[in-house]
Copies of this chain bind each other. A is one copy, B any other.
Amino acid sequence: MHLPTRLSRVRKRIAEADLDALLISYLPNIRYLSGFDGSSANLIVTRDQLYFITDFRYITVAESLFANTSDLDFTLVTVDLSYDETIGNTLRNLGVKHIGVESAHFTTRQYLWLRDFLGAAPKKTNSVCLVPTERIVESVRLCKDSYEIDLMRAAAVKLSKVVLEILPKVSVGRSERDVAAEVDWTIHRMGFERPAFETIVASGPNSALPHARPSERVLSSGDLVVLDCGGVYDGYCVDMTRTVCLGIPDTRSRRIYEAVLEAQAAAISAIAVGVSLGDIDEAARNSLKRHGLADAFGHGTGHGLGLEVHEEPRISKRRPQEKTNHSVETLVEVGMVFTIEPGVYISNFGGVRIEDDLLVTPNGYEVLTQVPYEFVSA
């Protein structure tokens, strides 16, 4: 992980936004720029300095973060009574005018407090202007660097092994919760730090709920079972879904499964550098439409993966402004990593979702997760 490169990319965007400094309060962004994986810290990036603000609990960790990067002008600031005051004082002492905050992550309370605090500076100092910003670090995180790609590729191999190991154990007579606990245990054994989200094992009618929680329901013959799980590996998330039918599927289940599989293949085929994300979503949606199932697919086709299990890019329906103005659409770039996961959900019947993780390459894509598409479970 080469922090100075990431930092210089962020500084470029800070300069483009006409800011003198950016207060970074969102933990995944702080981790991206420092490696810090604790629960409380703030980072201030100026044109040439870096302030890392944390409390007692993380001082030892924070000191080690930048121990080997002597080329960074780095200051560790310890919080005494409150983060707000420590951040406010540090910003005030920078002596700069335009300071960005991450408006999607900074709370209203923090914003109003800091605005008042900085506005109340003594008259002789220049007044500070707090600027709400969007996506400064996120836009850099959008395309993964080689360190991240190596990690995520390895993580996807591990997750595929988890799913391959679990699928034969999805069997009649076990409860959803029991299977989910075994998934989590397997995720741990495979070397993940933790599941990336609450594992989904949704059977029978529960499979019609895209975000079902594992219940005490016992798997029965004929059930559709959606297994959706993810793992965090050295901070990075991978995520995959397979759907199986226990025993002999009825015609409707089989028809839905084949339509979803076709929609996934259509979306994957649409991936290419320079294509808009909306086109990928549309490929899945149009494919389902041909089977009369478009209305049963109510979520997006995919989402980015990285330090967060849901991050940019979002592969979903074009928003109205994107329909009228194609220039505001996000285009596929080399190094993006995202899921493709169309699904069909029929209330009181069941659902099917199939999900893989893909990396965009100069020539197209690489499928990171590798588990055969086998619908009928023994």
Contacts and interface: CB of A to CB of B under 8 A. Distances in A.
A134 interface: yes
Given A111-B111, A184-B185, A210 B81 contact: no
B320 A81 contact: yes
A210 B57 contact: yes
B108 A107 contact: yes
A91 to B, nearest CB: 15
A324 interface: no
A193 interface: yes
Nearest to A104: B109
A61 B210 CA distance: 11
A304 to B, nearest CB: 17
A298 interface: yes
Nearest to A111: B108
A306 to B, nearest CB: 18
Interface string A107-149: 1111110000000000000000000101000000000000000
A330 to B, nearest CB: 16
Contact of A347 (B60, B104, B108): B60
A194 interface: yes
A109 B110 CA distance: 12
Interface string A71-111: 00000000001100000000000000000010111111111
Interface string A35-49: 001110000000000
A2 interface: no
A184 B188 contact: yes
Contacts of A110: 108
A255 to B, nearest CB: 22
B108 A56 contact: no
Contact of A132 (B81, B112, B177, B347): B112
B106 A60 contact: no
B109 A134 contact: yes
Interface of A: 37-39, 56-58, 60-61, 81-82, 101, 103-112, 132, 134, 177, 180-181, 184-185, 188-189, 193-194, 198, 208-211, 213, 298-299, 319-320, 347
Given A57-B209, A58-B211, 13 more contacts: A37-B213, A56-B299, A57-B211, A60-B347, A61-B209, A103-B107, A106-B107, A106-B108, A107-B107, A109-B134, A177-B188, A193-B198, A193-B213
8 contacts: A37-B213, A38-B211, A61-B209, A81-B320, A82-B319, A103-B109, A104-B107, A107-B108
